[in-house]
């Protein structure tokens, strides 16, 4: 069977601790938009947008079952051309469905590089969107030209994997990833493979020795970071300094990061 064809990335899903505090943090530090509020019996979820990247944040009402991991990236939703075909490919590849929604579904992260990929046949960036938003998405020009952080878009997101070569092959065969670069990352004791996946770049990271990537892999495969492109790294450094946020080196060359301890448990990176 041909791989699932990914088109637009709709949103990145993440579990957070403390709904009100986390929403306030992302609004105050990044100027994030709250575009949907979705309380449920199991959790309080919402959609927020930062630099044209949409996040779906989930705050479980009972922390017991995820307390070991704390806040973490859960998965990514992509628009695809045929959701039923995506189900058939998943079945053929032995990728289980962990959450079935009818128009969309999530796959089991243990079968897919630690990522709960979600497939849906509409784009959240279309006008009008497939669900009502509290306010229209701000255009990229707002984030690049008017917002003082100067975000020009999503550069990539990274996924830590146990076997880099096997993971790259899986991504090509299952979700139609196309290898666009391979790099050594000696500063973080890792090797990277970048794949074009729909309108995004996914960077797979495999540890080559002791370090943060190896420690992440020891906890399990999965999404590690979201990396934005900015117009000027020094402008970004000044922006965060003005908000009392200390930046640290990122995983890639020429990147700066807001560490999880300063970012409600999630790693954000910025690069020119």
Specify if 116 maps to a domain: yes
Same domain, yes or no: 135 and 12: yes
Specify if 93 maps to a domain: yes
The per-residue pLDDT for 124 is: 96
Same domain, yes or no: 108 and 185: no
Which among 85, 117, 141 is the end of a domain?
141
84 phi and psi, to 5 degrees? -65, -40
Specify if 209 maps to a domain: yes
The per-residue pLDDT for 243 is: 93
The Cα-based distances of 126 to 8, 131, 156, 193, 226 in angstroms read: 10, 10, 21, 30, 22
Decide: 107 and 222 in contact? Cβ < 8 Å: no
Kindly state the tokens that stand for 77.
Answer: 């939703």
The per-residue pLDDT for 40 is: 92
Same domain, yes or no: 166 and 228: yes
Same domain, yes or no: 179 and 107: no
Specify if 1 maps to a domain: no
Same domain, yes or no: 87 and 180: no
Same domain, yes or no: 132 and 154: no
Same domain, yes or no: 78 and 193: no
Confidence bin at 64 (pLDDT 50/70/90) = confident
Decide: 187 and 210 in contact? Cβ < 8 Å: no
Same domain, yes or no: 83 and 179: no
CA dihedral for 19, 143, 179, 258, sign (positive or negative): negative
Neighbours of 231 (CB within 10 A): 14
Decide: 59 and 66 in contact? Cβ < 8 Å: no
Which among 96, 113, 141 is the end of a domain?
141
Specify if 21 maps to a domain: yes
CA distance 243 to 186: 31
**What pTM was computed for the model?**
0.96
What confidence tens digit (pLDDT) does each residue in 12-59 have? 999 999 999 999 999 999 999 999 999 999 999 999 999 999 999 999
For 205, how many CA atoms within 13 A lie in the half-sphere containing its CB?
A: 29
H/E stretch holding 7 reads: strand 6-15
Same domain, yes or no: 16 and 130: yes
Decide: 160 and 217 in contact? Cβ < 8 Å: yes
DSSP secondary structure string for all residues of 156-173: EEEEE-S-HHHHHHHHHH
Number of domains within the chain:
2
CATH of the domain at 40: 3.10.180.10
Same domain, yes or no: 19 and 120: yes
What confidence tens digit (pLDDT) does each residue in 146-167 have? 999 999 999 999 999 999 999 9
Range of the domain at 205: 149-271
Which among 141, 160, 176 is the end of a domain?
141
């Amino acid at each position: 069977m041909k791989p699932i064809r990914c088109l637009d990335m709709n949103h990145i899903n993440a579990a957070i601790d403390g709904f009100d505090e986390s929403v306030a943090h992302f609004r105050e530090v990044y100027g994030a938009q709250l575009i949907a509020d979705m309380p449920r019996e199991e959790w309080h979820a919402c959609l927020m947008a930062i630099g044209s990247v949409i996040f779906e944040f989930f705050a479980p009402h009972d922390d017991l079952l995820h307390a070991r991991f704390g806040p973490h990236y859960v998965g990514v939703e992509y628009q695809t051309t045929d959701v039923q075909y995506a189900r058939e490919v998943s079945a053929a590849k032995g990728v289980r469905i962990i959450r079935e929604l009818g128009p969309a579904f999530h796959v089991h992260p243990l079968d897919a590089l630690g990522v709960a990929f979600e497939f849906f046949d509409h784009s959240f960036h279309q006008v009008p969107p497939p669900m009502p938003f509290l306010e229209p998405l701000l255009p990229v020009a707002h984030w690049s030209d008017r917002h003082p952080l100067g975000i020009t878009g999503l550069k990539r997101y990274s996924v830590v994997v146990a076997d880099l070569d096997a993971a790259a092959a899986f991504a090509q065969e299952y979700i139609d990833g196309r290898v666009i670069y391979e790099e050594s990352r000696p500063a973080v004791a890792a090797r990277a493979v970048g794949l074009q996946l729909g309108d995004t770049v996914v960077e797979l990271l495999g540890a080559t020795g002791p370090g943060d990537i190896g420690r992440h892999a020891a906890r399990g495969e999965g999404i590690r970071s979201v990396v934005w492109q900015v117009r000027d790294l020094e402008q970004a450094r000044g922006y965060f300094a003005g908000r009392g946020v200390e930046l640290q080196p990122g995983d890639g060359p020429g990147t700066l990061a807001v560490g999880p301890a300063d970012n409600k448990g999630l790693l954000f990176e910025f690069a020119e």
